[in-house]
Amino acid sequence: MNQRITQVNAEIKDALKKAAWLGFSRSMLVGSVLQFALFFLAPAFTGPTHIWRTIFGLTCIVMLLLFFANQRFVSLYRYIYFFLFTTLGLAQLESFLVLRYSSTVAAVAAVNLLAGFGILSIRALLLFVSLTTFGYGYWLWTFNAHQLINTESSIYLMTLAYAFVLHFRFKQNMVQQIKHAKVLEQRSLELEQLHKKYERLSQMDELTDVYNRRYFIQEAERYIALAKRHHLSFSILLFDLDHFKRVNDSKGHLVGDVVLREVARRVKQTLRETDVCARYGGEEFVLLLPFTGLEQALIVSERLRKLISETPISYGQGELWVSSSFGLAVSQEKCTLETMLQRADKALYQAKDRGRNRVEVAFFEAANEASISHFR
């Protein structure tokens, strides 16, 4: 394509040299005679008024006389010729159509009939337009049909090439945008997964894989507010492992960790999906039992106590038997989370004082005090 453009430019230069710098040629003489004839015989192609046609025709006659009079006036003729063609303006649409669809001689004559009214100060601009628009860069009295067809074909090919480049760039940009969107989507998924991971880490106890104390308090406060609004019952169960310090002292903290993990696993297997189990601190665990009254809470407490105490816990070098003590608090009309935890803790220590491995219940009375009852 670049070679073809270079070839077209070379042809343009050759045509300009032939027309502008080599003086009068036979084609220039024929063009002048034809344009003089068409100004009077074919007004449909011209458009200017009769006065302008007369002036232009007389000018052509003068130029012919100058040519026959003396060859030394060639430069003067060339100057006048260029001056007239660049100051009278652009050719009308009819001339352009003749150029595109008529014979070579008619095209030569018609294009040279530049009609309309130009301005002297823009003659250079009009000359450039007449050179590049109507003849694709040629002085039209020197071209032939093959040159025009080849040039137009080259322009058509250049247009197709440019369209192909634009289409290729558009597709390339679309592919890049799609890849970028996929990368953003992947990063978004990764960020979402990281968010869930860190959110879970912030809620869970790392050792036992149950909820931590902070998350339990948040969930308990939310549910207590809901229970008060809709008059729902719930229970809080607090328990710890009996003599757990002896396990750490005699077997080591690693064995103690094994015991805590196994107890947490057994508790999670027993609970419902709505229940919340959390490590309250050390060997203490706390449970929130939504929609659970006293009778159901006692059944859950006793089942957990048996599950912990009646099955030994295996570790690397043997087995351990452990037990647990439970303190149970059941919701009342004006209870708060802090009050519920205090009553459950009081019932838990009452269970330890009364022999361990048992369940104690804290009942709220009118004086806002709790009575502790044993259930086994």
| Ranges 19-33, 53-67, 343-357: which has the least confidence | 19-33
pLDDT tier, 24 (very low <50, low <70, confident <90, very high otherwise): very low
pTM: 0.50
- CA–CA dist 83, 160 (Å, integer): 37
Q: How crowded is residue 185: how many other Cβ atoms within 10 Å of its Cβ? A: 10
Radius of gyration of the chain (CA): 52
pLDDT in tens, 195-254: 887 777 788 998 999 999 999 999 999 998 888 888 888 999 999 999 999 998 888 999
Does position 349 have pLDDT exceeding 80, yes or no?
A: yes
Does position 5 have pLDDT exceeding 90, yes or no?
A: no
Structure tokens at 133: 């628009």
3-class SS of residue 301? helix
- CA–CA dist 43, 56 (Å, integer): 13
Give the pLDDT confidence score for residue 21 in this predicted structure. 40
Residue with structure tokens 């294009």? 111
pLDDT tier, 62 (very low <50, low <70, confident <90, very high otherwise): low
- CA–CA dist 114, 86 (Å, integer): 9
Mean pLDDT of the chain: 69
What is the percent of the chain where pLDDT is above 90?
29
Length of the chain as a residue count: 376
Does position 156 have pLDDT exceeding 50, yes or no?
A: yes
Structure tokens at 317: 């070098």
What is the percent of the chain where pLDDT is above 70?
52
Contacts of 115 (CB under 8 A, 6+ apart): 46, 47, 48, 88, 89, 90, 91, 92, 95
Does position 335 have pLDDT exceeding 70, yes or no?
A: yes
Higher-confidence residue of 133 and 167: namely: 167
pLDDT in tens, 102-149: 333 334 444 444 333 333 333 344 444 444 444 433 444 444 445 555
Instruction: Give the bridge partners for 314, in sequence order.
Output: 319
Give the pLDDT confidence score for residue 228 in this predicted structure. 87
Higher-confidence residue of 5 and 92: namely: 5
Give the pLDDT confidence score for residue 39 in this predicted structure. 46
Give the pLDDT confidence score for residue 359 in this predicted structure. 94
Does position 59 have pLDDT exceeding 80, yes or no?
A: no
Angle at the Cα of 214 from the Cα atoms of 212 and 216, rounded to 5 degrees:
70
Q: Of the candidates 276, 235, 196, which has an alpha carbon nearest to the alpha carbon of residue 362? A: 235
Q: Provide the H-helix boundaries in the chain.
A: 2-16, 26-41, 50-69, 74-87, 93-101, 104-112, 123-129, 145-203, 213-230, 244-251, 253-270, 294-309, 337-353
Residue with structure tokens 């328990």? 239
Contacts of 307 (CB under 8 A, 6+ apart): 266, 267, 270
3-class SS of residue 79? helix
Structure tokens at 12: 């343009």
pLDDT tier, 10 (very low <50, low <70, confident <90, very high otherwise): low
Q: Of the candidates 24, 109, 31, which has an alpha carbon nearest to the alpha carbon of residue 68? A: 24
Q: What is the DSSP letter of 284?
A: E
